[in-house]
Amino acid sequence: MTVSIERTGDIAVVTIDNPPVNALSHALRQDLWNAAEALDADPSVRAVILICEGRTFIAGADVNEFGKPPIPPHLPDLVARIETAAKPWVAAIHGSALGGGFEVALGCRFRVAVPSASVGLPEVRLGIVPGAGGTVRLPRLVGPALAAEMVTTGTPVAAPKARSQGLIDAIVEGDLEKGAIDFAHAALDQSLPLPLSQRGVPTVDETFWETTRRAVASRAKREDAPLRALACVRKAAEADFEGAIAFERQTFLELRGSSQAAALRHVFFAERAAPRPPELTGVEPRAIRSAAVIGGGTMGAGIAAALRDAGLPVTLVERDEVALERGLSNLRSIFEGAVKRGKITAETAAERLSGVTDTIDYSRLAGVDLVIEAVFEDLEVKREVFDKLSAVCRLDAVLATNTSYLDPEQIAGNIRHPERFLGLHFFSPAHVMKLLEIVPTAQTAPATLATGFALARMLGKVPVRAGICDGFIGNRILKTTRAQAERLLLSGATPQAVDTAMRAFGLPMGPFEAQDLGGLDIAGFQRRAARARGETPFAPIAERLCALERFGQKSGGGWYDYAKGDRSPQPSKVVAGIIAEEAGRTPQRQWDESGIIDCIILPMVNEATKILQEKVALRAEDIDLVEIHGYGYPRWRGGLMHYAEARGLAEIAVKLSELAAMDLAEPANFTGD
């Protein structure tokens, strides 16, 4: 049984216990239905409290059931059953009341919550709209403007704000069940409010719907659900209750079967599985109560900020006082930026900074639990750092290198107790980007690896284990992206056409705009290092641009020209000239948008498949998470590998053979950068 009923005087308490998050599985829906029937038939009961065991109130419909045919009692019917119960129901909320969970709460006559609770309708994040009356009852409770905002963004609202907005009726300090019972007694002494289905929707300004539609469309880009959710709220305002419910249900069922919903569900489960890889089941991570960062440059300061945001005391180490002052100033500007953007208060920023100890003395690290080295990407410099760390740190302290291209095995070099060492690849800016590639060496102990995953959880990051190869998972695929983008230029496409096509595919930026933003010099530096290792990286045009010091926006030109103070890319005659020279006798073609997309994305899929075969990534969904959280790959496409599977591997194999037969440019070294 997922539901139990107890009576306290004339109040019945219905307690749900359906771990992990009390999702509305078929069994729970049936048990709740039965509870409503039984309590309606019990004359000794005057009101019902609906409360949950475990970490949260009902977190929504059971997403695992979405691929299957719905079985009655359906959720909309259950919500209506609770709403029309002979006695008023009071939802007593802790944790989150989300999606179907909040819809059940909207079916209750009252909602009370503990201060730490939140409520919301996050369905759009799963590519669907609320399907149990949420878009119809919510505008009746708080008006169309707030309802539209909640259902189109999916952002939950914290209890204190929810109280002030009328989403909940009371905040309960102290024991929730007792508070809810007291609330019910007080409510029974007064006349009851109408159920939401019997209330009207407040009217809005006639421009509201069009203005909101435009705002939602521009935010949603190519995601379908937000605009469909807005249409449901509009229907609720313009049709009667039953008509609006039918419209919402129809929209819900259509979207539930859509490819975007399947992709977003895939990402939902991949993200939840990522922090707990099955191969580390039962492995205890080491405790992390303090951390140190070596190097206060862009990466080091970002990592230190992320550690402080997670509440860890941080020691920042630099090689001399000047560098230390620069590091602190980098850290200060991160927190000041967060204050300016309204993310934290000035007091919080001051508290975060005061938790940083700065030093040039390595012996101060003798007691720390975790050290992350984030100095310049130079093998010798990094090895020197680890020699010092190896001498001063506790033998059970975890020692990590933040590197994007160097081989962690070589960095580990001769450190004592290499089982405590691992690679952590943060993405810039490290306090913002969600992805963390975790790179064990052959000697890394399981407990050290588990500590990397525990750290990611503490920092709110998406951890992905990556094997050692040039670029690990993400940057190795990025090399293919960039090489293909250049091949397109050599065979007739322009930078604008390539960037426009990749935006149309759903990326926030095309590959050339992105390089101009980040700077071409970084990849240029890496190519130099690769050549020093005897490799032959393929980037003929980028190489020429670097030689001209066209490093991107920061130098006034890269793949595009930029007018002073203007970040909008303008086609460049210089670049067009270089492309023409480098193209030489490469056959020129007409490229349309889908041709460009295939020419870039499908070889990325191919490279990703090799990464899987070589076990550099252990699971296809790990690659999806890397692309989504590290490189802006559209979430609604489910990631690179989900896209490939949804499109069909056979078709992709055929297209790849066609591309290979095209002879786009000198093959050179396909993997170089």
Q: Which residues of 508-543 are buried (b: 16+ CB within 10 A; e: fewer)?
A: eebbbbbbbebbbbbbbebbebbeeeeeebbbbbbb
- Contact between 272 and ligand 3H9 per CB under 6 A: yes
The Cα–Cα gap between 426 and 227 comes to 34
Closest distance between ligand 3H9 and the C-beta of residue 103, in Å? 6
Alpha carbon distances (Å) from 509 to 365, 404, 495: 41, 21, 12
By beta-carbon proximity to ligand 3H9, the closer residue of 123 and 516 is: 123
User: Are 151 and 121 contacting, i.e. CB atoms less than 8 angstroms apart?
Assistant: yes
Q: Which of 119, 132, 236, 305 binds ligand 3H9 (CB under 6 A)?
A: 132
Least Cα distance to 512 among 547, 545, 537, 535 occurs for: 545
Closest distance between ligand 3H9 and the C-beta of residue 23, in Å? 4
By beta-carbon proximity to ligand 3H9, the closer residue of 123 and 373 is: 123
Helices (H), ranges, 51-205: 75-83, 100-107, 134-142, 144-153, 159-164, 176-188
Longest dimension (CA), the chain: 90
Q: Which of 107, 131, 463, 511 binds ligand 3H9 (CB under 6 A)?
A: 131
Closest distance between ligand 3H9 and the C-beta of residue 225, in Å? 11
The Cα–Cα gap between 207 and 63 comes to 36
- Contact between 61 and ligand 3H9 per CB under 6 A: yes
- Contact between 447 and ligand 3H9 per CB under 6 A: no
Q: Which of 75, 93, 430, 483 binds ligand 3H9 (CB under 6 A)?
A: 75
Place of tokens 């002052």: 325
By beta-carbon proximity to ligand 3H9, the closer residue of 130 and 440 is: 130
By beta-carbon proximity to ligand 3H9, the closer residue of 23 and 523 is: 23
The Cα–Cα gap between 13 and 177 comes to 8
Closest distance between ligand 3H9 and the C-beta of residue 650, in Å? 31
Of the candidate spans 62-70, 192-200, 202-210, 572-580, the one that interacts with ligand 3H9 by CB under 6 A turns out to be 62-70
Place of tokens 């934290």: 344
By beta-carbon proximity to ligand 3H9, the closer residue of 63 and 458 is: 63
User: Are 438 and 424 contacting, i.e. CB atoms less than 8 angstroms apart?
Assistant: yes
Q: Which residues of 19-37 are buried (b: 16+ CB within 10 A; e: fewer)?
A: eebbbbbeebbbbbbebbe
By beta-carbon proximity to ligand 3H9, the closer residue of 125 and 352 is: 125
Least Cα distance to 255 among 278, 280, 282, 232 occurs for: 232
Tell me the HSE value of 483 on the side-chain side, using a 13 A CA sphere: 24
- Contact between 463 and ligand 3H9 per CB under 6 A: no
Size, binding site for ligand 3H9 by CB under 6 A: 27
Closest distance between ligand 3H9 and the C-beta of residue 100, in Å? 3
Q: Is the peptide bond before 195 cis (omega within 30 degrees of 0)?
A: no
Closest distance between ligand 3H9 and the C-beta of residue 319, in Å? 40
- Contact between 152 and ligand 3H9 per CB under 6 A: no
Closest distance between ligand 3H9 and the C-beta of residue 104, in Å? 10
- Taking the CA atoms of residue 579, residue 585, residue 590 and residue 592 in that order, the dihedral angle to the nearest 10 degrees is -50
- Contact between 103 and ligand 3H9 per CB under 6 A: yes
The Cα–Cα gap between 265 and 393 comes to 43
- Is 295 in a helix, a strand, or coil? coil
Q: Which of 127, 130, 302, 603 binds ligand 3H9 (CB under 6 A)?
A: 130
Contact code string over 179-218 relative to ligand 3H9, x by CB under 6 A: ----------------------------------------
- Contact between 557 and ligand 3H9 per CB under 6 A: no
Q: Which helix (H) or strand (E) holds 488?
A: helix 474-490
List the interface residues with ligand 3H9, window 516-535 (CB under 6 A): none
- Contact between 123 and ligand 3H9 per CB under 6 A: yes
The Cα–Cα gap between 85 and 316 comes to 61
- Contact between 62 and ligand 3H9 per CB under 6 A: yes
Of the candidate spans 51-59, 85-93, 233-241, 297-305, the one that interacts with ligand 3H9 by CB under 6 A turns out to be 51-59
Contact code string over 81-100 relative to ligand 3H9, x by CB under 6 A: ---------------x-xxx
By beta-carbon proximity to ligand 3H9, the closer residue of 96 and 609 is: 96
Q: State the angle between helix axes of 208-220 and 225-238 in degrees (0 to 180), rounded to the nearest 10.
A: 160
List the interface residues with ligand 3H9, window 298-317 (CB under 6 A): none
Least Cα distance to 325 among 336, 333, 314, 335 occurs for: 333
Known catalytic residues are 103, 123
Strand partners, 561: 557, 570
By beta-carbon proximity to ligand 3H9, the closer residue of 264 and 578 is: 264
By beta-carbon proximity to ligand 3H9, the closer residue of 71 and 646 is: 71
Least Cα distance to 523 among 672, 414, 654 occurs for: 672
List the interface residues with ligand 3H9, window 11-30 (CB under 6 A): 20-21, 23
DSSP state of 286: P
- Contact between 105 and ligand 3H9 per CB under 6 A: no
The Cα–Cα gap between 430 and 367 comes to 25
- Contact between 64 and ligand 3H9 per CB under 6 A: yes
The count of other CB atoms within 10 Å of the CB of residue 250 is 12
By beta-carbon proximity to ligand 3H9, the closer residue of 159 and 393 is: 159
Closest distance between ligand 3H9 and the C-beta of residue 232, in Å? 11
The Cα–Cα gap between 31 and 555 comes to 66
By beta-carbon proximity to ligand 3H9, the closer residue of 131 and 511 is: 131
By beta-carbon proximity to ligand 3H9, the closer residue of 598 and 622 is: 622
Closest distance between ligand 3H9 and the C-beta of residue 70, in Å? 7
Closest distance between ligand 3H9 and the C-beta of residue 646, in Å? 21
Q: Based on C-alpha coordinates, what's the Rg of the chain?
A: 28
- Contact between 460 and ligand 3H9 per CB under 6 A: no
- Contact between 59 and ligand 3H9 per CB under 6 A: yes
Q: Which of 16, 48, 52, 60 binds ligand 3H9 (CB under 6 A)?
A: 60
The count of other CB atoms within 10 Å of the CB of residue 405 is 17
Of the candidate spans 122-130, 473-481, 575-583, 624-632, the one that interacts with ligand 3H9 by CB under 6 A turns out to be 122-130
Q: Give the strand pairing for 421-426 and 435-439.
A: antiparallel
Site for ligand 3H9, rule CB under 6 A = 20-21, 23, 55-56, 59-64, 75, 96, 98-100, 103, 122-123, 126, 130-132, 134, 269, 272-273
